[in-house]
Amino acid sequence: ATRKLLLLPGDGIGPETMAEVRKLIGFMNESHGAGFEIEEGLVGGSAYDAHGKSISEEDMAKADAADAVLFGAVGGPKWDSVAYDVRPEAGLLRLRKDMELFANLRPAICYPALSDASSLKKDVIEGLDILIVRELTGGVYFGEPKEIIDLGNGQKRGIDTQVYDTYEIERIAGVAFELARTRQNKVTSMEKRNVMKSGVLWNEVVTRTHAEKYSDVALDHMLADAGGMQLVRWPKQFDVIVCDNLFGDMLSDVAAMLTGSLGMLPSASFGAPDGKTGMRKALYEPVHGSAPDISGKGLANPIAMIASFAMCLRYSFDMVKEAEMLEKAIADVLENGLRTTDIAAPHAETVSTSEMGDAVLERFRSL
């Protein structure tokens, strides 16, 4: 089988961490006959420098033709003053919009070796493995009207509108239930139906979708504010959490910080299944940005990027065994005490980006 991957390393530490994934791809092609066909493109500031746009039409076409896109990070002080519509972030937004990536997945996993690094008690987070599924293309981020009105008496009015249609809730719920089946078979849906009409509809549509197609999965409903509290109090009660764009943004940041460093956190975004192949459009990226403060120094932690590639293996290519091996390789390397500076104790010995990447590859090779 050929597996078409588009690599968009981007700016700052994006290319440094993507280099470590490239090593893994090379190894899997040579030794596992994985058949990855790699295309490369430019996004963000590097694309702007090359052709004055944050992503070219040619690279958009490559994204459309690929089975999956691996994205590094974009942005940096060098491009702080470029025009709004060609700023680095515009490239990522364009990809999300054109690929219609409506489902954003953010796992929060606590690696045993790092269970002391969280600010929470060890027994609260040890063994934690939850997945937040955030709706990404609707809700208050895009609803109309969205404006600031001058009321004329020295007062202004800021307006955002939360809008959800049935089909948008159905499809994100479907993704959450399908993912739950591959995990602990449990979904918690979070909204605020007590104060929001869109929350009432959300609750109704999730409940109906569950009854019609996914009644084998356990379903709970929780008000989103209470859910935030429960996430910090006892996160292990959750398996898959599904919520709208805004609640998902906040709850996934909370969940992320249960586990420690930004340099550890992967994510995936899915679109609709392709009519012909049944494959979902998908983009995989670390949660972190381009980290200009450490870029070019070999200090970046490549694990978030590598773990994003593991998600790609699992969800786009059904290479579940390889994904698990790669995740085990990461856990083992941490268990052996290897630390990049972001996850190291003060004054502890640290390794570089490529040393961490090599160690994960070495361990993966031996599994």
Binding segment for ligand NAI (CB under 6 A), chosen from 34-42, 296-304, 307-315, 322-330, is 296-304
225 is catalytic: yes
Among 16, 67, 249, 322, binds Mg ion (CB under 5 A): 249
Q: Which of ligand NAI, Mg ion, none binds 162 (CB below 5-8 Å, type-dependent)?
A: none
Q: How many positions of this chain bind ligand NAI (CB under 6 A)?
A: 21
Catalytic residue among 23, 225, 236, 328: 225
Distance from C-alpha of 152 to C-alpha of 162, rounded to nearest angstrom: 26
Distance from C-alpha of 366 to C-alpha of 328, rounded to nearest angstrom: 11
Among 137, 188, 245, 290, binds ligand NAI (CB under 6 A): 290
For the residues of 133-184, what is the DSSP string, one character each?
Answer: EEE-SSGGGT-S--EEEE-SSS-EEEE------HHHHHHHHHHHHHHHHTTT
- Residue 135 pairs with which residues in a beta bridge? 103
Binding segment for ligand NAI (CB under 6 A), chosen from 34-42, 124-132, 292-300, 359-367, is 292-300
Pick out residues in 252-271 that bind Mg ion (CB under 5 A).
Answer: 253
Cβ partners under 8 Å of residue 327, min gap 6: 307, 310
Among 62, 106, 288, 339, binds ligand NAI (CB under 6 A): 288
The answer to the question of residue 128 lying near ligand NAI (CB under 6 A) is no
Our CB check for ligand NAI shows the closer of 13 and 131 to be: 13
C-alpha dihedral sign at 246, 251, 257, 259: negative
Catalytic residue among 11, 59, 111, 192: 192
165 is catalytic: no
Among 54, 252, 301, 308, binds ligand NAI (CB under 6 A): 301
Cβ partners under 8 Å of residue 193, min gap 6: 199, 200, 202, 203, 223
CA distances from 264 to 117, 155, 292 (A): 12, 45, 17
Our CB check for ligand NAI shows the closer of 169 and 258 to be: 258
197 is catalytic: no
Is 85 assigned to a binding site? yes
- Residue 220 pairs with which residues in a beta bridge? 188
Question: Exposure of 19 by Cβ count < 10 A (0-12 exposed, 13-18 middle, 19+ buried)?
Answer: middle
Radius of gyration of the chain (CA): 21
Cβ partners under 8 Å of residue 225, min gap 6: 192
Q: Are 352 and 299 in contact (CB under 8 A)?
A: yes
Q: Which of Mg ion, ligand NAI, none binds 293 (CB below 5-8 Å, type-dependent)?
A: ligand NAI
Contact characters 338-357, ligand NAI, x per CB under 6 A: ----x---------------
The answer to the question of residue 285 lying near Mg ion (CB under 5 A) is no
Element (DSSP H or E) covering residue 242: strand 240-243
Is 291 assigned to a binding site? yes
* Structure tokens given for 60: 């958009």
Binding segment for ligand NAI (CB under 6 A), chosen from 72-80, 176-184, 234-242, 317-325, is 72-80
Return the active site residues. Answer: 141, 192, 225, 249, 253
- Which residues form the interface with Mg ion (CB under 5 A)? 249, 253
- Which residues form the interface with ligand NAI (CB under 6 A)? 13, 73-76, 89, 92, 262-263, 285, 288-294, 300-301, 304, 342
